[in-house]
Structure 1
Amino acid sequence: MGFIHWKTSKQTGKLKTLLGLALSRIAVARRPRLARKSIATDDVRQLLTLGHLDRAIHRAEQVIVEDTMLEAFEMIELYCKRLIEHAARLDKPGECTEEIREAAATVMFAAGWCGDLPELTFVRTILADKFGSHFTEATRDGTGIVDRMLVWKLSGDATSRELKKKVTKEIAAENNIVVDFSELRDVIKDGED
């Protein structure tokens, strides 16, 4: 009996270490995404200044992709911190609160979507061992107690035409650029006919 408890505690220690490494990697992974978002935002501004509204809207997609991933990193970071904070409770998964179970499920789901964070794959393995196969299966497709907002950010289509237009309008407003989308609508209608 003592041996099993020792093994679980060792797993929990390893889990905390891996989560700490994932937090460090998130900080590193943010930098290039912030740079790409900044460059894409500047590209949209320049295209709007030159009057290339259609190209600016297309370039806004990159702003959305990077911003969505940055927001996903923030969420993953919060859930990793929550698991580190409550790691001792993970030794008895049956006694974990919904908050801890949600954090575990969300981190397990994120592991399949975030190639930037390879530590999460090992975290998923440890958590799967602790919570069991039924719990693990529920996390794979993002159902159950996995944070739905993170599921949407990682697997949803965050680049709809309306969202691109909204981001383009925001960038234009921040830079005092007047944008007339009525011309664009005419082009879209002509292209759809």
Structure 2
Amino acid sequence: MGFFHGKTSKQTSRVKKLLELALSRLAIARRPRLARKSICRSDVGQLLSLGYLHRALIRAEQVIEEDNMLQSFDIIELYCKRLVEHATQLDKPQECSEEIREAAAGIMFAARWCGDLPELQLARTILEDKFGSDLTAVAKEGTGIVDPMLVWKLSGDKTNMELKKKVVKLIATENNIMVELLEFSELQEAIEHNNIGSPC
């Protein structure tokens, strides 16, 4: 029993350090994504000013992708801080509060989507070992206790036409560019009838 408790405490210490490293890396990981988002938004504005609506919609996908990841980083940061601050609870996973279980499941789900944060991969392995197969299965599927917003931000459809139109219209408004709604409808029909897709 003493050996088991010692092993668990060592695991807890390890996962805490990994999450602290992830928190440090988050600040670094945000910078290039903020820069790319800014560049992409500028590109969308320029394409709209030149009348290239279809290309602007394609470019909007990158804006959505970067924005989604940045918002995911905010949720992941919250979860990392929560687990670090309440790390002692991880020594008795069966007695963890719902908030800690949610944070652990969120980290486990996010790990496979966040190459920017390699520490999460290692933390996930420890958390899976601690919490067992039931929570691991839920986390893997992104269901149950896992925050639906995090799931959607990391794995949602970034090519959704309505979402792209919303982003393009917002950027058009910010740049005082008039975009006719009719153009969007006609463009969508053209895409559907001609099977025009965005480049891979």
- TM interval, short-chain normalised: over 0.9
2:165–2:184 contact (8 Å) kept in structure 1: no
Find the counterpart in structure 1 of residue 142 from structure 2.
Answer: 142
Report 1:13-162 matches (<5 A).
13-162=13-162
- Using the alignment, how far apart are the partners of 2:47 and 2:172 within structure 1? 10
Alpha-carbon offset, residue 72 of structure 1: 0.8
> How many residues get paired?
193
- Using the alignment, how far apart are the partners of 2:173 and 2:12 within structure 1? 49
2:47–2:53 contact (8 Å) kept in structure 1: yes
- Percent identical pairs in the alignment equals 67
Distance 1:94-1:63 versus aligned 2 partners, 3 A rule: same
Q: Unpaired runs of 5+ in structure 1?
A: none
1:112–1:140 contact (8 Å) kept in structure 2: no
- Using the alignment, how far apart are the partners of 2:129 and 2:184 within structure 1? 54
Distance 1:27-1:190 versus aligned 2 partners, 3 A rule: closer
- Using the alignment, how far apart are the partners of 1:190 and 1:109 within structure 2? 37
CA RMSD of superposed structures (Å): 1.5
Identify the range of structure 1 (1-10 vs 26-35) with the bigger mean alpha-carbon deviation. 1-10
Aligned with 2:144: secondary structure?
Answer: coil
Q: Unpaired runs of 5+ in structure 2?
A: 195-200
Deviations 1:70-129 (CA, angstroms, capped at 9, x unpaired): 111111111111111110011011111111101001101111221111111111111112
Find the counterpart in structure 1 of residue 178 from structure 2.
Answer: 178
For normalisation by structure 1, the TM-score amounts to: 0.94
AA of the residue aligned to 1:28: I
2:45–2:172 contact (8 Å) kept in structure 1: yes
2:76–2:107 contact (8 Å) kept in structure 1: yes
AA of the residue aligned to 1:52: Y
Deviations 1:146-170 (CA, angstroms, capped at 9, x unpaired): 1111111111213311111110110
- Using the alignment, how far apart are the partners of 2:186 and 2:90 within structure 1? 58
